[in-house]
């Protein structure tokens, strides 16, 4: 879905007021409106809203409470909490605020208008926002639409979002932006030396495939690699029912990179983009790969399988090797890879790994600036021995349970050259409870921070 601002020149004025400024603001209102605000008990608490009327009862405007600095630290997209309380029409922010606040408010408003209505009619947001002065409306709309694409993909159940359907979405996106796309599927994965991708997906009747989209003719090269496990049963190490309930979101990494790719292409950034998505379903059949099997990767490294439910790193390994072969300026992988990451930082923070401290600083600062929070985790070299079994080069699921997100990241790093700039995101991709601008369900994480940091990461 496309999320856009209103173009109504006759929008209602909207004031966003902090608690500390409320008394002064009330003095600027006509007496009747001031009295109404006092009688209504409006106190400018975070997310509160008040509708103002003219003397004849017609709509005059509105006020949204912006709380105080302490309350705002406990969340983001605060104005989005109040927009559902505004009546139908277009609204124009008329109070003075920082550029950063206006950009977050504008994006939060658009994200609050997102609805996943593929299977059930949803009431649309009645209040629409006119882009605030000084805000790059086209950029905010591109970001919001990319985020909506990510959410739609994650929210769609696997019955309608298997490898073939994910391919169709990628093809539509490529056509929209005049990008090229190639797909390797089925037995051709073996011919083209993508053996672990084939091994993981071969048990499913839904044919595994690698999606390879390219765009742009000038500038540095960025490769985005997204985990596209469209459903994960766990394979022969079958997940319990409770753990399988959200596995439609195990393609969240692919959804994130496609949403980010839309942002990059819609904004016509001066770079060369490649998107690699290993799209599979991890199923159970007589043809499933097994515990204690030893698989050979595209890179030639052998991998002992100690848990078939650690399949994401296997399909990513072949895709990362493919990405690495052309020596791009930067490789970024995004994946719903480990439950250990959620234990470490919860569902809201996205842990990321890189050996480049300057890149880590840029990403963290961008996340802070645009309300897309990240946290750096270490490629801790002393743990390398934990992923080195006795009979193969690597172990896909070290025993013991310690440092699960770190060992998974170390596994992936083995498939990227030591001198290759690389960042890995171990995302969750799911909003467990509704928050302003983020309804319960699929959500993009880390993509906006990456977009904001790209000028530093690639010297654009």
Instruction: Check: pTM over 0.95? Answer yes or no.
Output: yes
Q: Region 35-54: what's the mean pLDDT?
A: 97
**Contact indicator for 196, 295 with CB cutoff of 8 Å:** yes
- Are the folds of 12-135 and 140-458 the same? no
Task: pLDDT band for 137, please (50, 70, 90 cuts).
Answer: very high
Residue 4's pLDDT is 96
| pLDDT > 90 fraction of the chain, expressed in percent and rounded | 98
Return the pLDDT at 401: 85
> Which pLDDT value is given to residue 373?
97
Residue 263 binned pLDDT confidence (cut-offs 50, 70, 90): very high
Mark whether 239 is an active-site residue.
Answer: yes
Instruction: Write the pLDDT tens digit of every residue in 138-174.
Output: 999 999 999 999 999 999 999 999 999 999 999 999 9
Q: What is the structure's pLDDT at 1?
A: 78
- The pLDDT assigned to 50 comes to 98
Q: Which residues sit opposite 334 in a β-bridge?
A: 226, 425
Instruction: Give the domain ranges of the chain.
Output: 12-135, 140-458
What's the rounded mean pLDDT across residues 94-101? 95
The per-residue pLDDT for range 148-157, each reduced to its tens digit, is: 999 999 999 9
Q: Are 118 and 92 in contact (CB under 8 A)?
A: no
The fold of the 140-458 domain, in CATH, is: Aminopeptidase (3.40.630)
User: How much is the pLDDT for 350?
Assistant: 97
The backbone torsions φ and ψ at residue 326, rounded to the nearest 5 degrees and listed phi first, read -95, 0
Of these residues, 76, 299, 313, 438, which one is catalytic? 313
Instruction: Single out the residue of 435, 262, 425 nearest to residue 353, CA to CA.
Output: 425
Which one of 34, 115, 171, 239 is the catalytic residue? 239
Q: What is the mean pLDDT of residues 42-67?
A: 97
Which class for 85: exposed (0-12), middle (13-18), buried (19 or more C-beta within 10 A)?
middle
What pLDDT score does 223 carry?
Answer: 99
Structural contact between residues 78 and 47, judged by C-beta atoms closer than 8 angstroms: yes
Q: What is the pLDDT of residue 436?
A: 96
- How high does pLDDT run on average in the chain? 97
Instruction: Look at residue 52 in the predicted model and tell me its pLDDT.
Output: 98
Give me the residue label for tokens 């605020």.
Answer: 97
Confidence of residue 206 (pLDDT cuts 50, 70, 90): very high
Q: How many residues in total does the chain contain?
A: 460
**Arithmetic mean of pLDDT, 183-207:** 98
pLDDT at 271: 98
The answer to whether domain 12-135 has CATH 3.40.220.10 is: yes
Banded model confidence at residue 78, pLDDT cuts 50, 70, 90: very high
Average pLDDT over residues 3-21: 96
Average pLDDT over residues 12-35: 97
Q: What is the pLDDT of residues 353-405, one digit of tens each?
A: 999 999 999 999 999 999 999 999 999 999 999 999 999 999 999 998 899 99
Model pLDDT for residues 302-357, shown as the tens digit of each residue: 999 999 999 999 999 999 999 999 999 999 999 999 999 999 999 999 999 999 99
Given a cut of 90, whether residue 104 has pLDDT beyond it is yes
Phi, psi values for residue 412, rounded to 5° = -65, -40
Q: Which residue has the tokens 């504008």?
A: 106
User: Over 90: is that where the pLDDT of 265 sits?
Assistant: yes
């Amino acid at each position: 879905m496309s999320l856009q601002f209103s173009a109504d020149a006759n929008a209602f004025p909207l004031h966003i007021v902090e608690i500390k400024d409320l008394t002064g603001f009330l003095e600027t209102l006509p007496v009747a409106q001031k009295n109404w605000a006092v009688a209504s008990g409006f106190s400018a608490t975070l997310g509160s809203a008040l509708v103002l009327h003219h003397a004849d009862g017609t709509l005059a405007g509105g006020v949204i409470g912006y709380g105080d600095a302490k309350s705002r630290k406990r969340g983001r997209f605060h104005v989005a909490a109040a927009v559902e309380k505004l009546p139908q029409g277009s609204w124009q922010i008329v109070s003075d605020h920082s550029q950063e606040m206006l950009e977050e408010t504008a994006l939060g408003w658009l994200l609050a208008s997102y609805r996943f209505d593929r299977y059930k009619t949803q009431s649309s947001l009645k209040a629409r926002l006119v882009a605030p002065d000084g805000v790059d409306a086209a950029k905010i709309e591109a970001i919001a639409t990319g985020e909506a694409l990510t959410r739609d993909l994650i929210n769609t159940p696997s019955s309608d979002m298997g490898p073939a359907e994910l391919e169709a979405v990628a093809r539509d996106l490529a056509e929209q932006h005049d990008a090229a796309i190639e797909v390797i599927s089925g037995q051709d994965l073996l011919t083209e030396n993508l053996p672990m991708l084939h091994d993981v997906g071969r048990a499913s009747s839904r044919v595994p495939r690698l999606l390879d989209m390219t765009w742009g003719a000038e500038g540095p090269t960025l490769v985005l690699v997204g985990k596209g496990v469209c459903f994960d049963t766990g394979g022969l190490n079958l997940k319990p029912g409770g753990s399988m309930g959200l596995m439609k979101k195990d393609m969240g990494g692919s959804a994130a990179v496609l949403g980010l790719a839309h942002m990059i292409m819609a904004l016509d950034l001066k770079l060369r983009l490649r998107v690699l998505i290993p799209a599979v379903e991890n199923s159970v059949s007589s043809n499933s790969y097994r515990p204690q099997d030893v698989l050979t990767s595209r890179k030639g490294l052998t991998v002992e399988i100690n848990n078939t439910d650690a399949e994401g790193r296997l399909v990513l390994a072949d895709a990362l090797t493919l990405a690495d072969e052309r020596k791009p300026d930067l490789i970024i992988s995004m994946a719903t890879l480990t439950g250990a990451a959620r234990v470490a930082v919860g569902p809201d923070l996205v842990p990321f790994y890189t050996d480049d401290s300057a890149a880590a600083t840029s990403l963290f600062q961008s996340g802070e600036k645009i309300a897309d929070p990240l946290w750096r985790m270490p490629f801790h070299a002393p743990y390398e021995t934990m992923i080195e079994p006795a009979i193969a080069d690597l172990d896909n699921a070290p025993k013991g349970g310690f440092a699960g997100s770190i060992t998974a990241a170390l596994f992936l790093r083995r498939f990227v050259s030591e001198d290759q700039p690389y960042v890995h995101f171990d995302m969750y991709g799911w909003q467990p409870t509704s928050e302003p601008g983020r309804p319960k369900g699929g959500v993009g994480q880390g993509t906006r921070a990456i977009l904001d940091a790209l000028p530093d990461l690639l010297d654009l």
